[in-house]
Structure 1
Amino acid sequence: MRERGRAIKAVLHEVHSIAGLGLALLLTLIALTGAIMSFEDEIVDHLNAGIMQVAPRSAPALMPDELIARLRAGQDFGKVSAVTLSSDPAGAVRVRFGRDEQGGRPASLYVDPYDARVLGSPRGEEFFATVRRLHRWLLIPGDAKGWGRQITGVAALGLIVMLVSGLVLRWPRRAGSVKMWLKPNLGLSGRGLHRSLHAVIGTWVLPVYLVMTLTGLWYSFDWYKDGVVWLLSRPEVVAAKMQPKMSAKAPRVAAASEPAVPIGFDRAWATFRREEGDRFARALLTLPAGPGTAIRIRSWGKDSTLDTTRDEFRVDAVTGQLVSAERYADKTFGEKIIANVLDIHRGAVLGWPGKLAFMIAAALMPLFSVTGILLYLSRRKLRRPAQPPLGRLVPGE
């Protein structure tokens, strides 16, 4: 029985080593870019505090279409794809633009809601957008439609294998001893110190890495995402989410020969205000990317502390009819977990202490890559047969 256990551990050790060596650089890159984005919202808000607010006025704010028309009259910035509006009279309007023919996207703008005066482009936006593309898609062309998302998904699966095998390999004989699990032996040196740091600090961050990988797979594989939705959502919600995938191609074929009809935000905005009143803090209105007239509106309540705790509406831009309303408060516990996948992934559900803990854990990934490689090299050196001294060789040896 003991020999069998040793054989299993030997196999796990090889699997752990091969996975670690193959994915060390990639996992380090993904982890460090994730750490950089941990406090993105706070950093961007601080950098752009001067252009996100305006002096409130007694005059009513411009309607979205009028604001965009005045903005275009001053300069052609490109096709507007979305606007973020605030219920705060002092909140500036954020205007986002679609991609041009070359695939580039102009920087978004903060605009005065009363006269459409351009306040400036947010600093840090382009930097964090690049870091995000590197984190999710490794800057591989195609972004979410390219190979990058599958590669990062494979890396996440590899990390899960390393976490499980590493936990089995380091399971101490005195499993009930907290000291054995959590206290590194800093009195060691060389291979012993590397092993202690690799194993003990790896135990510290193992729960965080598991959360990161299990939620990160959501963005890499459709089969994983569909499985989570099926597992945690009500049947009618699952059916509603699957339906667009089956019928997505039909409207495009039917509308391919019809000229695109320009649509605006005003009717959808009026419907949303009629439904919500002043209960929202801010709302993001996004034009449909393809054929269709349904504008998506994401709104955040005034007491919302997370980016993912939001309501979502779809309003027909032509008729102003409310097509659907998906309120966060009406979701089941499982559906709220799905809605909060991003904030769970980065630890934001635990507030700023959770974001800090996840950032530190991500920043520690290079430690495991370095100590893992050093342990592998030292193990190879120990396995290498010792060469007899040249002075002791006899003829014929």
Structure 2
Amino acid sequence: MTVQRGHTIKAILFQVHSIAGLVLALLVSLIALTGATMSFEDEIVDYLNAGIMQVAPRTTPALMPDALVARLKAAQDFGKVVAVTLSSDPSSAVHIRFGRDEQGGRPASLYVDPYDTRVLGAPRGEAFFATVRRLHRWLLIPGDAKGWGRPVTGTIALGLIVMLVSGLVLRWPRRAGSVKMWLKPNLGLSGRGLHRSLHTVIGTWVLPVYLAMTLTGLWFSFEWYKDGVAWLLSRPHVTAAKMAAKPPRPDGRAEPAVPIGFDQAWTAFQREEGGRFSRALLTLPASPGTVMRIRSWGKDMTLEATRDEFRVDAVTGQLVSAERYADKTFGEKIIAAIYDIHRGAILGWPGKLAFMLAAISMPLFSVTGILLYLSRRKLRRPAQLPLGRLVPGE
């Protein structure tokens, strides 16, 4: 009875695995390949734009952010400036990002000389990677993060988890067998046997990577998942603060917009941090309000996760909150590193390379899975009797 029940469960899992694979094969491969394309985005963009990211340091002090923005607008109005990246290195250019225009498009960002506001140029590769990112995260569905793209890609990630778990259960034999059986594909086979060997063995290699990708990818798709992870890994008061920080839904009443700049927040941040930072990203509030978010990275910090985050009232210059990476608990550091875990950067460039290769391998499972499905259909098809042997009525 137990053996029969085990066979029944595996038969059900096999159907679930096959159906999910057939339905999601193309979309999963598309998301994986776009993710692989972005694996070394930072290195590629830095290499392509090395000539416009540096300036000759001067003895004169650099312009304050508001003066820099005002001069830039006076020369040519590129649009509303929403974010400025400043550096403690006197030879680094200022990176300026703009908000969306009335048509919903976003102008290209610019690198600007911090001493004389000379426009050094728009970063090459930015538009390409922005499109790849929208395809990866939201499948280019209108609305981007506010549209249907987020739940759609999240549902695909859930489907991939179902395929990974069911595939592992189906492969698990009564006896574990040798390491060779688990990790070495049999390239001496051909046809269906080779397809099955590649599908199962290479799937075993990349399964931990795919699980890491999907479990962290769900963070960017579903609020309930994000809240659950934060509740599990954060201290209670931190979770409560995050929940309270979410902007309320608009009720139709327009609040008076207060014109704010960057200078007060920048001065308060410099007073708080001194020379301990390497670069800082100042972002204007997206909703009505005066509290500006400042993310900063230390001089020895290279990962996206290892950042400090400050909130400063841009009108009064008062420091509202300071969230330092060094003060986080282990669980909170995991939350901060979600993005770096998602792309393998938490393990340095070898990790990013491994995750990229795993993502590139995704179409292999789609192709071999479809071939295995078609071969099963062919094997199950009843053989057609020769015409000479047909009985009347058949």
TM-score bin (small chain): over 0.9
1:110 is matched with 111
1:237-270 CA-to-partner distances (Å, cap 9, x unmatched) read 011011133x6248x766x252x22111011101
Structure 1, gaps ≥5 residues long: none
Structure 2, gaps ≥5 residues long: none
Letter matched to residue 186 of structure 2: N
Letter matched to residue 83 of structure 2: A
Distance in 2 between the 1:299 and 1:101 partners?
31
1:45 is matched with 46
Gap change, CA 1:65 and 1:388, over 3 Å in 2: same
2:28 is matched with 27
Q: TM-score, normalised by structure 1?
A: 0.97
Distance in 2 between the 1:266 and 1:253 partners?
31
Identity within the alignment, %:
82
2:324 is matched with 327
Q: What secondary structure sits across from 1:180 in the alignment? A: helix
1:213-252 pair list within 5 angstroms: 213-245=214-246, 248-249=248-249
1:266-303 CA-to-partner distances (Å, cap 9, x unmatched) read 11101100110110000000011121011110000000
Matched, 1:312 2:313: no
Q: What secondary structure sits across from 1:360 in the alignment? A: helix
1:110-158 CA-to-partner distances (Å, cap 9, x unmatched) read 0001001000000000100110000000000111111111111111111
Matched, 1:367 2:364: yes
1:298-338 CA-to-partner distances (Å, cap 9, x unmatched) read 00000002012100001111110001100000000000000
Task: Quote how far apart the aligned CAs of 1:396 are.
Answer: 4.3
Matched, 1:141 2:142: yes
Q: TM-score, normalised by structure 2?
A: 0.98
Matched, 1:352 2:334: no
Task: Quote how far apart the aligned CAs of 1:3 are.
Answer: 1.7
Distance in 2 between the 1:147 and 1:261 partners?
32
Distance in 2 between the 1:253 and 1:274 partners?
38
Distance in 2 between the 1:261 and 1:361 partners?
48
- Aligned positions, number: 393
Matched, 1:293 2:271: no
8 Å CA contact 1:265–1:317 kept in 2: the answer is: yes
Moved over 6 A (4+): none
Distance in 2 between the 1:394 and 1:286 partners?
81
Distance in 2 between the 1:253 and 1:65 partners?
31
Letter matched to residue 8 of structure 2: A
2:339 is matched with 342
Distance in 1 between the 2:179 and 2:203 partners?
15
Letter matched to residue 236 of structure 1: H
Letter matched to residue 102 of structure 1: Q
Task: Quote how far apart the aligned CAs of 1:173 are.
Answer: 4.2
Task: Quote how far apart the aligned CAs of 1:195 are.
Answer: 0.3
1:85 is matched with 86
Letter matched to residue 377 of structure 2: R
Distance in 1 between the 2:329 and 2:316 partners?
31
